[in-house]
Structure 1
Amino acid sequence: MGLQLRKMLDLLVHASQCQCRSSLCQYPNCRKVKGLFRHGMQCGTRASGGCAVCKKMWYLLQLHARACKESKCHVPRCRDLKEHLRRLQQHSDSRRRAAVMEMMRQRAAEVAGEVAGNVE
């Protein structure tokens, strides 16, 4: 992960917990990220409607959620996104298991056919 992106994700975590109400925060872009959080709550267009700001924010939130190990993370939607990613992984695992089982079933049928052909 690039340094700029890493810094942005660190800023995302900081801004989600920062209580500073003024520009005195040690993170110079903290207020901007808090503004993005507000935008996300108030936007009528949303990412699904094509809002570029919301799309960028969702991208960062998803990147954060993939790497986050905190069970009580304060980053907006982190827990929801982690749960969604967990369900996607479970679904993928189930499909993979089903494909392997089907392949094994087909192979067993082929072997059984070969054995039956050799017996006759």
Structure 2
Amino acid sequence: MDKYGIHLLTLSHVYSVPQLKQRCTRGVSQRLTVENVVDVLQLAWLCDAPDLYLKCMKQVLAHFKAVEQTEGWKFMQDHDPWVELEILKFIDEAESRKKRTRRHREEQSLYLQLSEAMECLEHIYTEGCTTVAPYDVEPAKKTSPCNKYKTCQGVQLLIKHFALCKRRINGGGCSRCNRMWQLLKLHSSICDQPDSCRVPLCRQFKLKAKQQKMGDDAKWKLLVRKVLSAKAMSSLSLPKRKREEELRETMEDHVLKTFRLL
């Protein structure tokens, strides 16, 4: 296969021997190098071997700088520009997919943070936390940050700023206060129990939305849907995380017990 793999692949295609062609395709794909990948790519196209063709494309993508310096690439540029165009299109599409995936992950991360911030608001205004609590609950006044939510400390600081901000009281614009308004409004859009909800302005935002028909805002509706979707996905993954934590705790306990016995 090392010496005649390419020749056998060509013959198996010409004489329609599918089993031999399949074996040759696997064998040649395992022996791809930077030096021969362009030649094998052209052969894979001519011999109608899509798996080998795709593997060659991925190899070129992974080592493009090195492949560009090979004799096979230079020969292809002079004699088969169509293949070069296909390679460049494949690379461009791969880069576009990476960008889309990265952007999607960033968006999902943002929606998850917003979803957690919504839960955090309910947690603070219902149970109270380290430095902020409802009027009928004493804050814990712990020096360490809240370990329930990653965003809790930031939300508490935002609430404290919102309560004391002079620019907001005097009617001036404040970006942090505007952020708090947005969080409260988003919570109101998501909350399904406004009558019993203890988060400030929840019911008022609901009524205002009905009066002004703010629900017709397409962008806001999309944001609400995305946050709800992120919340649902987070809740689905929560049991798995809990199981992993419980398993880890069990293993740690077992190790400690074993250590004590020893």
1:67-116, CA deviations, whole angstroms, 9 ceiling, x for partnerless residues?
A: 111121111211221121121139x8xxxxxxxxxxxxxxxxxxxxxxxx
- Whether the 8 Å CA contact 1:65–1:82 is kept in 2: the answer is yes
Give the Cα separation in 2 of the matches to 1:44 and 1:81. Answer: 23
2:213 alignment partner, one of 84, 89, 92? 89
What does 1:97-108 align with in structure 2 at a 5 Å threshold?
none
Partner SS, residue 46 of structure 1:
helix
- Whether the 8 Å CA contact 2:116–2:151 is kept in 1: the answer is no
Tell me whether 1:5 sits opposite 2:123 in the alignment: no
1:16-59, CA deviations, whole angstroms, 9 ceiling, x for partnerless residues?
A: 22333223632344243223222212111129522110011111
TM-score by length of 1: 0.62
2:201 alignment partner, one of 77, 88, 92? 77
Q: Which structure exhibits the higher relative contact order, with contacts defined as CA atoms closer than 8 Å and separated by 6 or more residues? A: 1
Give the Cα separation in 1 of the matches to 2:208 and 2:155. Answer: 24
Deviates more, 1:71-80 or 1:54-63: 71-80
Identity rate, percent: 35
Give 1:79's aligned amino acid. Answer: R
Deviates more, 1:53-62 or 1:6-15: 6-15
Give the Cα separation in 1 of the matches to 2:186 and 2:199. Answer: 12
- Whether the 8 Å CA contact 2:188–2:202 is kept in 1: the answer is yes
TM-align CA RMSD: 2.6
Residue of structure 2 in register with 1:110 after alignment? none
Structure 1 runs of 4+ off > 4 angstroms?
A: none
What does 1:26-65 align with in structure 2 at a 5 Å threshold?
26-46=148-168, 49-65=172-188
Considering only CA atoms, is the larger Rg found in Structure 1 or Structure 2?
2
Tell me whether 1:15 sits opposite 2:137 in the alignment: no
Structure 2's unaligned 5+ residue stretches are: 1-107, 130-139, 217-262
Going from structure 1 to structure 2, the CA distance change for 1:28 and 1:67 (only over 3 Å counts) comes to closer
Aligned pairs, number: 91
Structure 1 residue 61: Cα displacement: 0.9
TM-score by length of 2: 0.31
Residue of structure 1 in register with 2:40 after alignment? none
